[in-house]
Homo-oligomer: A and B are copies of this chain.
Amino acid sequence: MLLALPDILPPAAAAKLRELVLAAQWVATGGNGAASRQLPHDALVTRTAQAEVTAALMDSAAFLSAALPHSVFPPVFARHREGGCSDGQVDRAIRCHKSTGARIRTDLSCTLFLTDPADYDGGELEIGGRFGKASYKLPAGHMLLYPSASLHRVAPVTRGERVSCFFWLQSLVADHSARELLYDLDQSVQELAAERGKNDDEVLRLTAIYHNLVRRWAEA
């Protein structure tokens, strides 16, 4: 499950959110001096920005189908200037949120890009796995969904500034290949329903199969 989801935020909304967070107070994070900063988790503006992202997620049929979200951890907003990067890491399996006390199993990691790729160099999201290392730099408003179990880091920014939002989520379906299979099956159901209607016999049978697989695999 490594999936680029276009247009979680339309370009204008992404720009507006970027401006909102850029106007706030930021705090430095370990290691890179002022090159890497985050929004404080308990600031009012953080909560406003988080609400906007969460609402956009809940409106995205592609996100819901691909992630089957159980609980979404409050998003973190980060900015990286020249020299800013993040260490390679596998995310901790269980996370508790400082403010809310919420606890989740980190099945999936998400990075919502908020700066246009033309406005900075470097800063790719690098994800490693058995398939080698891949680099991602998506348009503002697009989001990458990837397994928290994979090694990932932000490559050093070498020009400009990269603003992004990242968060973890616990999925209703913990197993990645099961979740991918459900996503594929949902794609087939949507395609066939668009062609043949929702009450077509094959559409009904495949829909029942989809729900019975979710039932088998989901921890609600």
Contact = CB atoms under 8 A, between A and B. Distances in A.
Nearest to A183: B130
Interface in A168-217: 170, 172, 174, 176-178, 180-181, 184-185, 187-188, 191-192, 201-202, 205-216
Nearest to A66: B130
Instruction: Quickly give the copy total for this chain.
Output: 6
Contacts of A3: 130
A1 B209 CA distance: 15
A23 to B, nearest CB: 33
Contact of A220 (B94, B149, B207, B210): B94
A110 B15 CA distance: 47
A31 to B, nearest CB: 12
A218 interface: yes
Contacts of A92: 211
A93 interface: yes
A188 B202 contact: yes
A34 interface: no
A129 to B, nearest CB: 7
A148 interface: yes
B214 A185 contact: no
Nearest to A172: B94
Nearest to A127: B131
Contact of A176 (B93, B177, B211, B214): B177
B90 A208 contact: yes
A93 B205 CA distance: 14
Contact of A206 (B148, B188, B212, B220): B188
The 3 A-B pairs of least Cβ separation, nearest first, read A93-B214, A105-B220, A90-B208
